[in-house]
Amino acid sequence: MSEGINVVGVYVRDQDEALEFYVGKLGMRVHTDARNGEYRWLTVQHPEQPSFQLGLFKPQAPVLDAATAQSVSELVAKGAMPPLVLVVDDCRAAYERLRTKGVEFTQEPMERYGGVDAGFRDPSGNGWKMIEARHGAG
């Protein structure tokens, strides 16, 4: 039997806005965009990681009741959710490329912990840490 993680989800306030950010600015591509009434299953994937999907989900029924959905939306907007990590070959170059596409950074690239990293948020408030891949480490 083969097992593995296929989809990891993040909560977003507006799925169309999130789609524009993740596809238009970060360069991901749409994997699935399916609707069932008010519910929308929307996933994107990095072009170089076709077996892994990032779900862009709105906090709503049937997964959450209305009060919980409101609380979750507020927490996401405050940046209270754990950060996601994007690994890049050159953090400074990726920073400049994404900044010109309108990505707003919360931290410019800086050297620490033996590497270079930067931080940004998506339009919903989800935090991202962009980390330069270490080559030759092993």
pTM: 0.90
Q: β-pairing, 53-57 with 7-11?
A: parallel
Q: How many domains does the chain have?
A: 1
Of 112, 125, 30, nearest in space to 76 by CA = 125
What tokens appear for 102 in the block?
């309108």
Rounded to whole angstroms, how far apart are CA atoms 123 and 12? 8
Structural domain contains residue 28: yes
Structural domain contains residue 138: no
Instruction: List the domain range (segments joined by +) for residue 72.
Output: 7-132
Structural domain contains residue 2: no
Structural domain contains residue 37: yes
Structural domain contains residue 1: no
User: 72 by DSSP, 3-state: which?
Assistant: helix
122 φ/ψ angles, rounded to the nearest 5 degrees: -80, 175
Structural domain contains residue 68: yes
Structural domain contains residue 137: no
Is residue 25 packed enough to be buried (19+ CB in 10 Å), middle (13-18) or exposed (0-12)?
Answer: middle
Rounded to whole angstroms, how far apart are CA atoms 110 and 91? 9
Structural domain contains residue 19: yes
43-102: pLDDT as tens digits: 999 999 988 999 999 999 889 999 999 999 999 999 999 999 999 999 999 999 999 999
| Cα Dmax for the chain | 49
88-132: pLDDT as tens digits: 999 999 999 999 999 999 999 999 988 999 999 999 999 999 999
The CATH number of the domain holding residue 59 is: 3.10.180.10
